[in-house]
């Protein structure tokens, strides 16, 4: 039980660090100054300038989303990361499929794969990669309906059935559209989840404030978010990134004096 509690405590901190990093990036990025520089320069016809007000609004939306992610309960935060991981896996599956179709087009061979060793190797490599992606998606989403994540395997199935290469390109695009529709359907079916979560959280906050006051609410959030540890990890991550940037941007090896100066100034 102690190991489980330690793991939950580590996850509670680690999963919130990206939210603070995003807040830091948004705070450091001056959107108005960025577009003013574009307007003064010769790039005033840049298409980005047309989306100035949209970028400003998205900047504030980014603040709100970062704060929401920072204050989400751990179980909801874990679920959100799992959804994001599934999306990355689906994207990786389509990248594998696209690379396979492109390599087949470059080879130009449309005959049976078992007669061409290189074609067979490409097929087996792509098949193993796709099976790994489908299995991981099924495990992450905790479902046995693996077919929901296997649309990107259609080009492989078509190639196995000796479908012409031009048709396989169309099938690959259809597989991408089908996966996109699945994602849109999932988002639409869970559209009210953030609203219901915010509503229940607001109700709980009001109850805590009415019974115990604002001070108790602040202490509860402080303990739930583990603020000192969270900011310490955030600082260590930034410090590690600066150390990496320091060494990667210098051609010559750093001396002890330079390294000491880096530690003192960071």
Q: Is the pLDDT of residue 265 over 60?
A: no
What pLDDT does 146 receive? Answer: 85
For the residues 76-84, what does the mean pLDDT come to?
A: 88
What pLDDT does 253 receive? Answer: 52
State how far the Cα of 55 lies from the Cα of 48, in Å rounded to an integer.
9
The mean pLDDT of the chain is 80
What pLDDT does 190 receive? Answer: 82
In the structure encoding, which two tokens stand for residue 221, read together? 């959030």
What pLDDT does 251 receive? Answer: 53
- The tens digit of pLDDT for each residue in 194-207 reads 777 777 777 877 77
| 217 and 205 Cβ atoms separated by less than 8 Å | yes
CA 88, 94, 99: angle at the middle one, nearest 5?
A: 125
| pLDDT above 90 coverage of the chain, percent | 19
Q: In which band, very low, low, confident or very high, does the pLDDT at 130 lie, cut at 50, 70 and 90?
A: very high
What pLDDT does 4 receive? Answer: 75
Q: In which band, very low, low, confident or very high, does the pLDDT at 98 lie, cut at 50, 70 and 90?
A: very high
For the residues 84-103, what does the mean pLDDT come to?
A: 92
Query: What is the per-residue burial (b if ≥16 Cβ within 10 Å, else e) of 157-187?
Result: ebbeeebebeebbebbeebbeebeeeeeeee
Q: What are phi and psi of 236, to 5 degrees?
A: -65, -40
pTM summary value: 0.75
**Greater confidence, 57 or 105?**
105
Report the number of secondary-structure helices (H) and strands (E) in the chain: 12, 0
**Greater confidence, 174 or 111?**
174
State how far the Cα of 258 lies from the Cα of 163, in Å rounded to an integer.
62
State how far the Cα of 64 lies from the Cα of 146, in Å rounded to an integer.
35
Q: Is the pLDDT of residue 92 over 90?
A: yes
| pLDDT above 70 coverage of the chain, percent | 82
What pLDDT does 56 receive? Answer: 67
How far from each other are the two terminal CA atoms of the chain, in whole angstroms?
39
What pLDDT does 256 receive? Answer: 53
In the structure encoding, which two tokens stand for residue 38, read together? 């574009």
HSE of 88 in the Cβ direction (CA atoms, 13 Å)?
8
State how far the Cα of 235 lies from the Cα of 125, in Å rounded to an integer.
42
What pLDDT does 129 receive? Answer: 92
State how far the Cα of 185 lies from the Cα of 151, in Å rounded to an integer.
15
Q: Is the pLDDT of residue 142 over 80?
A: yes
What pLDDT does 20 receive? Answer: 87
Q: How far is CA 221 from CA 50, 65, 213, 217, 218, in A?
A: 40, 17, 13, 6, 5
State how far the Cα of 52 lies from the Cα of 48, in Å rounded to an integer.
7
């Amino acid at each position: 039980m102690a190991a489980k509690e330690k793991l939950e405590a580590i996850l509670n901190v680690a999963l919130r660090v990206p939210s603070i990093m995003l807040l830091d990036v948004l705070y450091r990025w001056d959107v108005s100054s960025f577009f003013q520089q574009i307007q003064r320069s010769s790039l005033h016809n840049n298409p980005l300038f047309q989306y100035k007000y949209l970028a400003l609004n998205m900047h504030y939306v980014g603040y709100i989303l970062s704060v929401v992610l920072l204050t989400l309960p751990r179980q909801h935060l874990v679920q959100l990361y799992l959804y994001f991981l599934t999306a990355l896996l689906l994207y990786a599956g389509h990248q594998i499929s696209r690379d396979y179709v492109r390599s087949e087009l470059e080879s130009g061979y449309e005959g049976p794969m078992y007669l061409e060793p290189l074609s067979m190797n490409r097929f087996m490599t792509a098949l193993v990669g796709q099976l790994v992606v489908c299995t991981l998606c099924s495990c992450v989403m905790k479902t046995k309906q693996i077919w929901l994540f296997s649309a990107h395997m259609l080009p492989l199935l078509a190639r196995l059935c000796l479908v012409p290469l031009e048709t396989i390109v169309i099938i690959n695009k259809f597989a991408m559209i089908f996966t996109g529709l699945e994602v849109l359907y999932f988002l639409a079916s869970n559209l009210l989840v953030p609203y219901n979560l915010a509503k229940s959280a607001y109700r709980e906050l009001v109850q805590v404030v009415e019974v115990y006051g604002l001070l108790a609410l602040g202490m509860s959030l402080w303990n739930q978010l583990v603020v000192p540890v969270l900011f310490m990890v955030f600082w260590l991550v930034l410090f590690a990134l600066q150390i990496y940037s320091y060494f990667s941007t210098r051609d010559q090896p750093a001396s002890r004096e330079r390294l000491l100066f880096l530690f003192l100034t960071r």
